[in-house]
Structure 1
Amino acid sequence: MKLINVIEINPLNFSKEGSALPEVSDFPDPEDWYDEWVKTVSILDFDFNTISKGSYLVDIESVDDRNLEIILQGIEFDEFEDEILPFDGGIALMEDNKALLLPTCCGDIGNIQEWKKILEDKTQEWNDLWIGHPWVFYKKNKGKIQFSDYSDENLKDITDIKSMIEIDELELKTELMKAEQQQINFQNRISKTLEKLKIENFDKISQSLTGISKMI
C-alpha cells in the first residue's frame, strides 16, 4: 500500500494555437485518439503520467520543474493572497500501481489533514473521511482501517456500510508521514519557482497552493 499526493492538472488549460489534430486512422481507439490529441494541443511536456487512465490526477513528485513553472504561470496571482486556494486533488491510496481510493470533486491537496484525523480517532465506529464529494467512510478494527465505497449520503442516513478496502493502521501512519514530507518538498519547489517568476509573497502563496497553510 502506498499513499501519494496528487493534484489535478487539465492539460487543455495549457493549450497552444495552431495544433493539428491526430489522424483517426493512426488512433482507431477513441480513447487513444483523445489522449494523443491532448498531448498535441498542450504546451506541457508530459514527462509525467496521470495515475490512472482517463484521470487528470498527477503525482506531485512526477511534475518536473519546467512543467511546474508552466502550471504556475497559468495561475492568476493578482487576487488577494487569502483567496488563493490549494490545488485540487488530495491523497490517493494505491496498491501495486492501481488506484484504490482517489480524491473527488472539491477535494484539495490540503485534505491530508482529514486523513491524519483517522490516526487520532479512538472509536471503532464508522466515521466520515472528507476527500471531496462523493466521500467515503472509515472504521478502525483491531489495528486495521476499513474504508467504504464512495457515497453521497450522510453517515446518519446509512444503516448498512460495507468495507471495500482494508489496510494496516501502522502502515497508514508511515505513509502519511511520507506524504506530508512530499507536500512540504512540493511547497518549497513552488516557493522557489514563484520567486524566480518574481511573484510577491511567494512563500505565503506556495503555502496556500499546497495546503500547508492549513497545518500552520
Structure 2
Amino acid sequence: MMKLINAIEIAPLRYPKETHELPEISDYPAPDEWFRKWEEAVSKLNIDFHAIQKDSYLVDIEVINDENLQIILETNLQEIDCEKFEDEMVAFDGGIVLKDDSQVLITPTCCGNIGNINEWQRILDNKTSDWSEMWIGHPWIFYRKENGKVQFSDYSDVNLSEFIHIKAIFEIDESELKNELEKVKQHQINFKNRISNILHKMNIKNAEKISKRMTGI
C-alpha cells in the first residue's frame, strides 16, 4: 500500500542533556548492530527520536509530540533573531517520503525542505506525459504520467535537458497519489498550527508568521 509521509530532518545531537557521541559506522560494520547502538545513544538525549528508516534523521511530523516539538523550536530559535525572522528563518529540512508497504522509495535529499510539497502537487497539475523534473533537493528525480500511473526515475544530478535516456524504476496510481497528498497537506497545516500555538505560549513575537515560514506554507 502506497503512503506519503511528511517528514522533517532532526539531527539528534542538537538536543543533548549532556555531551554524547553517536557510534561510528566503522566501529559497527553490521547495519543492525550499528542502528541498535545508535538508538541507545539517541535514547539518552532530550528528544524522543524515531526515524522513518535506518541511517536516516527523517521523522514523521505526525509522531512528534508537543513536548519534543517545543524542544526542537527552542533550539532552532536560539539561532535566529525573531525580529528579523523574514531574513533568517527557513523551512524545516525534509520533505515528502514515499513508501510502498514497508519499502521507502523516495526520500527528500540535501537542501530539500517541507515546503517542497508543492513539487508533488505539480505532478497532479501537470497535463503532459513528458518526463518532468521534481525538486526534492539534490540529487533530484524525474516523473511522467501515463495511463493513470505516475512513473518515477532514480535519483539524478543531471538536468532534464541533458538526460538522454530516463528509465522508470517504479510507478504508482495517480489517484492514490492524489488521496495521499491531500492527507499530508492537512498534516502540514496541523503542524503549522501546533508550532504557532507553542510559540504563542513561549511569548515569541510573530508566532503565526514564523510558523508559516518554518513549515513552508
| Fold equivalence (TM over 0.5) | yes
Deviation string for 1:77-120 (max 9, x for gaps)?
Answer: 41512121000000010111321100000000000101101111
Distance 1:198 1:128 in 2: 41
Deviation string for 1:45-77 (max 9, x for gaps)?
Answer: 33xx11011100000000001000100000134
Shift in Å, 1:20: 9.4
In the alignment, does 2:13 pair up with 1:12? Answer: yes
TM-score (norm 2): 0.89
Worse-matched range after superposition: 174-183 or 28-37:
28-37
Distance 1:60 1:204 in 2: 19
Identity %: 53
Superposition RMSD in Å = 2.0
In structure 2, the partner of 1:3 is 4
In the alignment, does 2:116 pair up with 1:111? Answer: yes
Aligned residues: 206
Cα pair 1:129 1:135 within 8 Å, conserved: yes
Residues 20 and 12 of structure 1: CA distance in aligned 2, closer, same or farther (over 3 Å): closer
In structure 1, the partner of 2:156 is 151
Q: Which runs of 5+ in 2 are unaligned?
A: none
Map 1:33-44 onto structure 2 (within 5 A): 33-40=37-44, 42-44=45-47
Cα pair 2:109 2:136 within 8 Å, conserved: yes
Cα pair 2:134 2:140 within 8 Å, conserved: yes
In structure 2, the partner of 1:177 is 182
Distance 2:22 2:60 in 1: 28
In structure 2, the partner of 1:71 is 72
Cα pair 1:52 1:98 within 8 Å, conserved: no
In the alignment, does 2:31 pair up with 1:30? Answer: no
Residues 204 and 20 of structure 1: CA distance in aligned 2, closer, same or farther (over 3 Å): closer
Deviation string for 1:145-202 (max 9, x for gaps)?
Answer: 0000000011111111111120011111111111100000000000000011110010
Q: Aligned to 1:58, what secondary structure does the other structure show?
A: strand
Residues 99 and 200 of structure 1: CA distance in aligned 2, closer, same or farther (over 3 Å): same
Residues 110 and 20 of structure 1: CA distance in aligned 2, closer, same or farther (over 3 Å): closer
Shift in Å, 1:14: 0.6
Residues 18 and 149 of structure 1: CA distance in aligned 2, closer, same or farther (over 3 Å): closer
| Aligned counterpart in structure 2 of residue 123 of structure 1, from 102, 120, 128 | 128
Deviation string for 1:7-64 (max 9, x for gaps)?
Answer: 0001101112266999x9xxx9334223312322x21133xx1101110000000000
Q: AA paired with 1:92?
A: V
Q: AA paired with 1:45?
A: D
TM-score (norm 1): 0.90
Worse-matched range after superposition: 56-65 or 10-19:
10-19
